[in-house]
Structure 1
Amino acid sequence: MSVLKANRKPSPFEVEHHAYKVRTVITDLALRKFGLREYEERPKPEAYNKWSQKQKDGYDRGVEKRRERYEAFVEWFIPDEQKAIIQITRDMVHEIFLANEICPQFISECDERRIHQDLALGYCENLIQELQYIITTLPVNIEKYENITNMIMQEQVLIKGWRKSDNKIRKSILDREKESVTA
Structure 2
Amino acid sequence: MRHITHGTRISRLAGIATLVVAAAFTGTGTALAHSTGASAVDQKVDGVMVVAGNSCSWTNASTSAVPPNALTVDRTTINTPGGNLACGGGIAATLNNNPAFTFDDAAGTARTDLIDITGRQSFISCRYKATGIVWDRDATSRKYINRSFTAAKTSGSFLCPGSVTTPAGDASMLFH
TM-score range, shorter-chain basis? under 0.3
State the TM-score, normalizing by the size of structure 1. 0.27
State the TM-score, normalizing by the size of structure 2. 0.27
Which one has a bigger Cα radius of gyration? 1
Relative to total residues, which structure has the larger helix share, 1 or 2?
Answer: 1
